[in-house]
Amino acid sequence: MTSTSKADIQRLIVQAIETVKQKNPMVGSITNSVTINFVANAQIAVGGSAAMVYMPDEGELLANVSGAVYINAGTLFPIYEQTLPRTARVLHEIGKPWVLDPVAVGIGELRTDLLRQFKDYKPSVIRGNPSEIIALAGLWGLNGGTEKSKARGVDSTDSVMSAKVAAISLANWTGGAVAVSGRTDLVTDGSILALSYGGSHLMNKITGAGCSLGGVVAVYASVTSPFIAALAGTAVYNLASGRAEHQVRGPGSFQNAFLDELYNAAAVDIANNPFDIGNV
Amino acid sequence: MTSTSKADIQRLIVQAIETVKQKNPMVGSITNSVTINFVANAQIAVGGSAAMVYMPDEGELLANVSGAVYINAGTLFPIYEQTLPRTARVLHEIGKPWVLDPVAVGIGELRTDLLRQFKDYKPSVIRGNPSEIIALAGLWGLNGGTEKSKARGVDSTDSVMSAKVAAISLANWTGGAVAVSGRTDLVTDGSILALSYGGSHLMNKITGAGCSLGGVVAVYASVTSPFIAALAGTAVYNLASGRAEHQVRGPGSFQNAFLDELYNAAAVDIANNPFDIGNV
Amino acid sequence: MTSTSKADIQRLIVQAIETVKQKNPMVGSITNSVTINFVANAQIAVGGSAAMVYMPDEGELLANVSGAVYINAGTLFPIYEQTLPRTARVLHEIGKPWVLDPVAVGIGELRTDLLRQFKDYKPSVIRGNPSEIIALAGLWGLNGGTEKSKARGVDSTDSVMSAKVAAISLANWTGGAVAVSGRTDLVTDGSILALSYGGSHLMNKITGAGCSLGGVVAVYASVTSPFIAALAGTAVYNLASGRAEHQVRGPGSFQNAFLDELYNAAAVDIANNPFDIGNV
């Protein structure tokens, strides 16, 4: 634990959040149809501007004009066979930050083929639950990837820690950051490892908590480093969901209270949301 | 009316609802893009886990790994020409429960072709409004199907009863259950006929009330019989929507209050939601 | 300013709104997947009935059976290459009112090709932000279209006025109306120019404010002239969003409060929402 580094990180989080609110960066997404509305509203709530496409040439264009791009492999359409690799290739070639959410990695031919190709295009941030992070490392032949995930929809500190090796090896491969979502969230750039606390059990009672976090991390990635973007996004999610939980009777009202809190969260409160850091 | 049977039914409803909350069954859906988010959130609110796909091989995989599957013919994409028959065939071959929502049956070539094919794959539960149930029976050449539906978006006890013969003949064909949604809802397995009471007029002022009910019935169908699943889903919808109506000013806040009530509804309250049963 | 005309307009607005609430017109939409649920719920909230499709033959059918159709070019799918021109051609041939939202005009090959074709099919109402209206006039080679839009997501009275010439030339070409959305909204039929006041800054903090307005204008267009439909839709949006803003803490709760207010807005209050008219 290095207290100086923690203060540095907090300063960079404040800076990223305030820059987004000032600049209103446009961040494109190619994301699943289940939670696409929630992703857009979350990106707008934190200060970004959202744009979603499906066509290959529009994906390439988005890569060129966006501050960053979010690719979520949730509900694949046939056209994604062209759209996703072409978009990711442009992102990699021009060095534009992008966030990958490898939803349901391991299921289906097209999904497996697409996620394998992304190894070469090195996403700046990879966000997933422990089993997705472990499975992606396995698909890419990286360390930590052979370890089997224990459960579907895993949600404990233990299982997040079980993805630690995979997360580190993915971050080392991409040169970016990896965020593993669970009760306690893990964020690493391959050398620093952060644990972020807070959140709400109701985040597991709505669809799109993870997807929209990926979209918000992409917004921050347009103005700061992958590691700070991933940690800032994780922190604002833990802060806003914890605040929202106390105002609601169930998951329906929770989703709106959460968006309200995302919108109202002050940069300094986000930076002060509890977290620990250490070396890998 | 058989009071013993009613108590048996209530006991089975309680059991189904509690089993779902304990087991958190994964239930796949291929459903329309208008209400896909609401379907997922409703499935999660009652204790299930949601997964949506579009690709043919992913549909087959979902059929194999899900506790049950929900197929809603709302907004068809071209790929559904392959995805829906392949998924339904697997469901039928392995005897996995599945729920069909024949949205807008009779409109369009692909829709007509797909819904006709489903006759052979015998959905465990068919859920629709009276005109859809009557039209599907007509498409499948079954009794009650020639009777013309009186109106679009029909919503009266009379019109539900006008679909009674079609519902019974569909249930007899599939060996499963049919749920007809209206002011009073009708559920039948071809021999028992149940009427479920309650609900809210605001369910007609939001999109997705019917679709999400189909998704919730699929969640219950993963742990109980088609008839109990259809009646349990219908009962929790009537209970939760009635409770939600008293808390809100309009359809926007209603949708969230409804999800909150779905989440909070106790098994015994759902089983006690007013209903009558009789023999066909 | 002609006070007689203003009273006439208010009378026609009241009539349109009350007719919709009595007749519950079915209005089909082909619209983007980001905000499709919000479009449907807004259409239902004002008294319409919503239906969404993707397939070409279903688009043609929708054109024939709907009271009006809404086409939003947001998230294009490959099948739209067939669906949109075939639907628009039928709409034009049978003289059915339709509303075009030229989202992101200028981006992508398919989008450009489709929006160019729509020139011949003369949408009854075109709704967009100033940059979209200017760009569409440019794409169609009309007056006012060469003027460059100053900013993405423009939202000021000035920028709305910068699209005035383009809006008028588009309305003159189609023989219908054009609605330009901004802080103050401009609606014109090519000879009368109306400015509508009110609204909320939170409309820019959610996705789908513009899309759902287009869908609501289509509902009104099924029972009144393009100009009255565009102005009535704009007025109810300004009224309902202003009312909703005072009840909420942020954009999450705002969206629901807005739908509640859409649902509860009385025809006479909508007609009395502040506006000015003048000749072009």
Is pLDDT above 50 for B36?
yes
Do A79 and C77 count as a contact with CB atoms less than 8 A apart?
yes
Flag whether residue B110 sits within 8 Å of chain C, measured between CB atoms. Answer: yes
Integer Cα distance of B139 and B121 in angstroms? 14
Domain total in chain B = 1
Choose from C24, C32, C41 for mutation: most chain B CBs within 10 A.
C41
The tens digit of pLDDT for each residue in C26-56 reads: 999 999 999 999 999 999 999 999 999 999 9
Q: Which residues of B touch A33 (CB under 8 A)?
A: 33, 36, 52
Is pLDDT above 80 for C1?
no
Q: Name the CA dihedral angle for C79, C85, C89, C92, rounded to a multiple of 10 degrees.
A: 120
Q: Which residues of A touch B258 (CB under 8 A)?
A: 252
Query: Between β-strands B192-196 and B185-188, what pairing exists: parallel, antiparallel or unpaired?
Result: antiparallel
Q: Which residues of C touch B260 (CB under 8 A)?
A: none
Domain with residue B224: its CATH number is 3.40.1190.20
Query: Between C109-121 and C130-139, two packed helices, what is the crossing angle to 10 degrees?
Result: 80
Flag whether residue B111 sits within 8 Å of chain C, measured between CB atoms. Answer: yes
Do C79 and B76 count as a contact with CB atoms less than 8 A apart?
no
| Residue entry with tokens 């960053």 | A68
Q: Token pair for residue C2?
A: 């002609």
Q: Token pair for residue A117?
A: 């190709």
The tens digit of pLDDT for each residue in A178-190 reads: 999 999 999 999 9
The tens digit of pLDDT for each residue in B264-278 reads: 999 999 999 999 999
Q: Which residues of B touch A78 (CB under 8 A)?
A: 55, 79
The tens digit of pLDDT for each residue in B163-181 reads: 999 999 999 999 999 999 9
The tens digit of pLDDT for each residue in A61-114 reads: 999 999 999 999 999 999 999 999 999 999 999 999 999 999 999 899 999 999
Is pLDDT above 90 for A129?
yes
Is pLDDT above 80 for C155?
no
| DSSP β-bridge partners for residue A276 | A195
Integer Cα distance of C188 and C190 in angstroms? 5
Compute the nearest-CA separation of B258 from chain A (Å).
7
DSSP structure class, residue A153 = T
Compute the nearest-CA separation of B114 from chain A (Å).
19
Integer Cα distance of A256 and C106 in angstroms? 34
Do C250 and A259 count as a contact with CB atoms less than 8 A apart?
yes
Compute the nearest-CA separation of B98 from chain C (Å).
24
Q: For position C157, what pLDDT does the model report?
A: 53
Nearest Cα to Cα of residue C232 among C279, C180, C187, C190? C187
**A242, A199 contact by CB (below 8 A):** yes
Q: Token pair for residue C160?
A: 């709305």
Integer Cα distance of A249 and B240 in angstroms? 13
Nearest Cα to Cα of residue A176 among A129, A219, A111, A127? A127
Task: Tell me the longest C-alpha to C-alpha distance in chain B.
Answer: 49
At B158, the pLDDT band (50, 70, 90 cuts) reads: low
The tens digit of pLDDT for each residue in B91-111 reads: 999 999 999 999 999 899 999
Compute the nearest-CA separation of A112 from chain C (Å).
22
At C4, the pLDDT band (50, 70, 90 cuts) reads: low
Q: Token pair for residue C245?
A: 């803003």
Integer Cα distance of B209 and A34 in angstroms? 16
The amino acid sitting at A114 is: L
Do C208 and A260 count as a contact with CB atoms less than 8 A apart?
no
Q: Which residues of C touch B77 (CB under 8 A)?
A: 54, 77, 79
- Residue A195's contacts (CB-CB under 8 Å, 6 or more residues apart) are A184, A185, A186, A187, A275, A276, A277
The tens digit of pLDDT for each residue in C51-67 reads: 999 999 999 999 999 99
Nearest Cα to Cα of residue C28 among C60, C73, C66, C74? C66
Is pLDDT above 50 for A229?
yes
Q: Which residue of A has its CA nearest to B50?
A: A207
At A146, the pLDDT band (50, 70, 90 cuts) reads: low
Q: Name the CA dihedral angle for A164, A168, A174, A175, rounded to a multiple of 10 degrees.
A: 140
| DSSP β-bridge partners for residue A180 | A128, A186
Q: Which residues of A touch C250 (CB under 8 A)?
A: 45, 259-264
Helix (H) or strand (E) holding B247: none
Integer Cα distance of C261 and C241 in angstroms? 8
- Residue C61's contacts (CB-CB under 8 Å, 6 or more residues apart) are B107, B108, C53
Q: For position A4, what pLDDT does the model report?
A: 60
Do B41 and A77 count as a contact with CB atoms less than 8 A apart?
no
At B146, the pLDDT band (50, 70, 90 cuts) reads: low
Flag whether residue C229 sits within 8 Å of chain B, measured between CB atoms. Answer: no
Residue scoring higher pLDDT (A106 or A14): A14
Q: Token pair for residue C264?
A: 């509860």
Q: Which residues of A touch C109 (CB under 8 A)?
A: 57
Helices (H), chain C: 3-23, 36-45, 56-65, 80-94, 109-121, 130-139, 157-162, 164-174, 209-221, 226-245, 251-264, 267-271
Integer Cα distance of A24 and C199 in angstroms? 21
Mean pLDDT for all residues in chain C: 94
Note which residues in 188-227 of chain A have CB less than 8 A from chain B. Answer: 205-208
Mean pLDDT for all residues in chain A: 94
Is pLDDT above 70 for A6?
yes
Q: Which residue of A has its CA nearest to B53?
A: A75
Q: Which phi and psi angles does B32 have, rounded to 5°? A: -70, 155
Q: Which phi and psi angles does B271 have, rounded to 5°? A: -65, -30
Is pLDDT above 70 for C192?
yes
Is pLDDT above 90 for A139?
yes
Q: Which residues of C touch B34 (CB under 8 A)?
A: 36-37, 40, 50, 52
Is residue C86 classed exposed, middle or buried when 0-12, 13-18 and 19+ CB atoms within 10 A define those classes?
middle
The tens digit of pLDDT for each residue in C92-142 reads: 999 999 999 999 998 999 999 999 999 999 999 999 999 999 999 999 999
Q: Token pair for residue A106?
A: 């391991």
Nearest Cα to Cα of residue A242 among A197, A181, A183, A200? A200
Flag whether residue C75 sits within 8 Å of chain A, measured between CB atoms. Answer: yes
The amino acid sitting at B259 is: L
Integer Cα distance of A247 and A256 in angstroms? 10
Is pLDDT above 80 for B156?
no
Integer Cα distance of B15 and B219 in angstroms? 13
The boundaries of the domain holding residue C183 are 3-279
Do A259 and C249 count as a contact with CB atoms less than 8 A apart?
no
